[in-house]
Amino acid sequence: MPNTESLKADFPILDRKINEYPLVYLDNAATTQKPRQVMDASRYYYEALNSNIHRGTHALARAATETFEQARHTVAAHLHAAATEEIIFTAGTTDGINLVANVLALSGTLQPGDEILISTLEHHSNIVPWQMLCLRTGATLRIIPCHDDGTLDQAAFTTLLNERTKLLALTWISNAFGTVNPVVAMTAAARQAGALVLIDAAQAAPHLVIDVQALGADFLVFSGHKVYAPTGIGVLWGRAAVLNSLPPWRGGGEMIKEVTFAHTTYNDLPFKFEAGTPNIEGVIALAAALDYVNAIGLEAIHHLETRLTRAATQALSAIPGIHFFGPPERASILSFAIEGLHHYDLGTLLDQMGVAVRTGHHCCQPLMARFGITGTTRASFALYNSEADVHAFAAATAKVVAMLR
């Protein structure tokens, strides 16, 4: 079990006080805080390596290139990828999904009458790009419904899956409810039907061991800032055979082998999909973040976060009129509403007591509509949270409820 008190020392921002209260940061599903080790990696790049990569012959360019490509190896190993060239660096999960949507449009993979399958639990980033793709191609978007407990209706999924399904795009863990979807089984069923599969692992990456070969999908995306790395950096993993069959989306430097005014020959993987100067510092810092969580152990982190989520659920259960969303076993996310109180008022007053939570629709408006609500209050846990944080959160929530009633 991680020693959260010693780990907190790695995160300078957690020393802050909000209105004279110690900061209790429970908004980790939105973004995680950054340890010194990650910030040191960012600073090291700018202080010791700062140079553009891949084409320079001078010492700084060579050193920056080596460090950047070593980071790609780190990410590939972290995901258990079959080859390093399957790792494409992006600006984040949203960017990765849009990359896949756009190259599928360019490739002619989807035709009028084809279907894309997503779920009710999806973040807007895994809805809107597919709506846009359907508008461009004439394909149809189909939605897997969910039960009242926030789990997906597997019978409906089986019915919706058919020979017209060309893509299943599915979140691994719901950012709104913490539902963990059975992605391995659903991926196998979709591929058996002949569909490509994209997994949104934005919420899974900080909590679960990811083995893309065991998962069986064709694409997987995640964001660095949810796994203790900076904002503006993310990863698209794609099966090499699939990536090689698809055209590039953005044109520019790095993604080419040869350019004339008459013709351009595109580069090999991964560079075919990495046009322009990349976020070099972000890539290096992402590798540092993955090294950090792997040194602690993702299984140990998941065990801690599960214990804290259960403890918070139990502590808040005594509040009259509280309703939890999602299944009883949630992944590091506790989403709830309290009868007669608006989530915004609750979150605002919790902030006055130093407790940072997220309120609103969590970029999941269709899911909120399914449950007849405008939003929830969401607490989400990370490796540096503790039992003391849970107690402070529960006490502050009870106090706010008493004030508002």
DSSP 107-168: HT---TT-EEEEETT--GGGTHHHHHHHHHH--EEEEE-B-TTS-B-HHHHHHH--TTEEEE
Which residues, listed in sequence order, are joined to residue 237 by a DSSP beta bridge?
87, 220
Question: Active site includes 363?
Answer: yes
Cβ neighbours around 113 below 10 Å, total = 11
E-strand ranges in 206-332 read 219-223, 234-238, 256-259, 264-266, 322-325
C-alpha–C-alpha distance, residues 206 and 254, integer Å: 30
DSSP secondary-structure letter at 114?
A: -
Structure tokens at 294: 């792997």
How far is Cα 99 from Cα 287, in angstroms, rounded to an integer? 22
CA atoms within 13 A on the CB side of 254: 18
Angle formed by the axes of helices 36-44 and 280-296, nearest 10°: 150
Retrieve residue 47's tokens. Answer: 């202080």
Catalytic residue among 134, 146, 363, 364: 363
Q: 336: how many CB neighbours lie within 10 A of its CB?
A: 22
How far is the C-alpha of 32 from the C-alpha of 207, rounded, in Å?
A: 12
Q: Are 180 and 121 in contact (CB under 8 A)?
A: no
Distance between CA 138 and CA 211 in Å, rounded? 34
**Within a 13 Å sphere around the CA of 162, how many CA atoms are in the beta-carbon half?**
10
Round to whole Å and give the CA distance between 80 and 84. Answer: 10
For residue 129, what is the enclosing H or E element?
helix 128-137
Rounded-to-integer distance, Cα 184 and Cα 209, Å: 13
Cα 239 to its chain centre, rounded Å, is 19
CA quadruple 259, 263, 269, 270: dihedral, nearest 10: 50
Residue-wise DSSP of 211-233:
-HHHH--SEEEEEGGGTTS-TT-
- Residues carrying an active site annotation: 363
